Homo-oligomer: A and B are copies of this chain.
Amino acid sequence: MRQTKKRVTIHDIAAASGFTASTVSRALQNDERISDATRIIIESLATQMNYRSNAVASSLRTGKSKMIGVVIPLFNRTFFASIIGGIETVMKQAGYSVMICQSNDDYESEKAAISALMRARVDGIAISVAAQTENFDHIQLLENEQIPFILFDRTHEEMEVHQVMIDDFKGAKDATLHLIEQGCRKIAYFAGVQHLTTQKNRTLGYKAALAEKGIGFDDNLMIISHLKEGSGDNAVNILYDKGIEFDAIFAASDYSAVAAMRNLQKRGVEIPKSVAIVGFSDEPFTALVTPALSTVNQHTHLMGQTVATLFMNLFQNEVDPKLMNKIILEPELIIRASSLKKQHF
C-alpha cells in the first residue's frame, strides 16, 4: 500500500514560524504589506521545508488555474508541434502552463478533450478543429460558458470568435502563380477535405491564380483526399489511370507532395522538367528530399506566439472580449528545386 507522505502546506510553515497561514501566503506572494524581516524568515523556511504551493487549492480559491488548454488534431506534424512551441514560449514567460490534447481529427475526441479542459478549469482554450468536425455546438458551448477561447489555423470563419490563421488563400495563390510563371498550364491540385476552412481557402487561391492568368479550371485536375502519406501516391495513379495530362502538381500537404514525387520518379518522370511540384507547410524534411521541395511556409512559431499573446490580452482585459479578433498571418512561398524549371542556381 502506497503511503503518501503528507506534503508541506502553508500551515506547516505557519506553525514553524509562529505566523498565521495568511501571513505565510502573503509573504510567499510578495505582498507588500508583509515586512521584509518576516518575509525573509518565511521564505527561507519554505525552501528549507521544501514547500511547494498547491496549485489545485490556489486554483479553487482564485478561480484561475494559470493553465491554458490546446486542442490539436495530431502531434505528428511539425506544423502543430511548432505552433505549440510558439504558444509555450509566450505562456511560460507569463507563468502559465499549457495542457495539450489531441483530437486525432475525430469529432468525439475533440468534444471530450474540450470537456476535460473545461473540467480542469483552464483559463483559456485554443483549438484547431478536427478534420471530421462539421458541427460547432461544442464551440458554441464555450461561448455560452464564457470561457476565453481562440480558434487557430483550422477555424470556423463564420463564427464571430477570436481566431488566428494564416492566409491560405494567398499561400495557395502564390504557389499556383509561381507554377504558372514557370510555364506550367495543366496544374494538378491535390486538395484536402473541403469543409476545413484552410483547405477551402487554398482551393479558392488555386482557382484565383488560374483565373488571373486566364487558365480555365479543370475539374479533372483537382483530387480531394485526406492528404495522408499514401494519398499523394494514390492521386498520381488516378491521374494516370484516367489519362489526364498535367505538367505540375500543387499539393496542399508536403507529405502528399513528396509521395507524388516518388511515384513520378518511379515512372521515370523528370522533376521539375516534366512535372513541377509545390507542397504546403514547409515540413523540415522537404529541404532534404531530392529534388528539394518547394512549399509554403506558414510561420507556425509566430502563429503560436500570436495565439498566446491574444490570450494574455484577453486575460488582462486589454481587449474587449466582445470584439472579435481575427488575425491573419502572411504565408511565405519557399522556392526550391522541385518547381524551378527556368532558373538554376
Contact = CB atoms under 8 A, between A and B. Distances in A.
Contact of A121 (B54, B76, B287, B288): B54
Contacts of A165: none
A65 B56 contact: yes
Interface stretch (A99-107, A149-157, A193-201, A209-217): A99-107
A16 interface: no
A33 interface: no
Interface string A1-40: 1111101000000000000000000000000000000000
A116 interface: yes
A289 B287 contact: no
A126 to B, nearest CB: 14
Given A112-B92, A146-B5, A262 B284 contact: no
A310 to B, nearest CB: 14
Given A55-B119, A82-B76, A119-B53, A2 B317 contact: yes
Contacts of A284: 76, 229, 255
Interface residues of A, number: 61
A325 to B, nearest CB: 14
A98 B70 CA distance: 12
A323 interface: no
A74 interface: yes
Nearest to A100: B100
Contact of A76 (B52, B85, B116): B85
A57 to B, nearest CB: 5
Contacts of A222: none
A321 interface: yes
Contacts of A104: 85
A290 interface: yes
Given A81-B76, A97-B120, A116-B97, A60 B52 contact: no
A63 interface: yes
Given A52-B115, A74-B81, 13 more contacts: A3-B146, A52-B118, A55-B120, A56-B65, A81-B81, A88-B101, A97-B117, A258-B288, A259-B288, A261-B288, A262-B288, A285-B288, A290-B290
Interface of A: 1-5, 7, 52-57, 59-60, 63, 65, 67, 74-76, 78, 80-82, 84-85, 88, 92, 97-102, 104, 112, 115-121, 145-146, 229, 255, 258-259, 261-262, 265, 283-285, 287-290, 317, 321
